[in-house]
Amino acid sequence: MKVNVWDTYVRKNDGTLMHFDILAPIEIVKEETIFQYGDDYLTTKEVQIKSLSTSECRLCHMETAPEEVVTSIQEKGYHIIELQNCD
């Protein structure tokens, strides 16, 4: 499965910068859908922002997803890779 990788940076409530990637099938072309995936993820982390926009989340590149990512996408439509300060 080919996925787009959306590079995302968000300022957390404590001021630290949180960095994660949102992976979604290349067929999803609406930025608003990707932003909603990010907002859903941030809710699970109890990070409060208005909502994601192109200021925080940008299309980075396309790649072939490994099996674990494909499984996650099949379950919820997207996959998150936590990179920095996501705890």
Across residues 4-27, what is the average pLDDT?
94
Task: Establish if 41 belongs to a structural domain.
Answer: yes
Q: Domain span at residue 17?
A: 2-57+73-84
> Taking 80 as the threshold, does the pLDDT of residue 78 lie above it?
yes
Q: What's the pTM value of the predicted model, to 2 decimals?
A: 0.92
- Percentage with pLDDT > 90 across the chain: 78
> Quick one: which of 9, 1, 2, 13 has its CA closest to 54?
9
Task: Establish if 66 belongs to a structural domain.
Answer: no
Task: Establish if 34 belongs to a structural domain.
Answer: yes
Looking up residue 38, the CATH number of its domain turns out to be: 3.10.510
Give residue-wise pLDDT tens across range 32-71: 999 999 999 999 998 887 777 788 999 999 999 999 999 9
Take residue 34 and report the two structure tokens written for it.
Answer: 């990707």
Q: How far is CA 2 from CA 17, 62, 65, 76, in A?
A: 28, 7, 6, 16
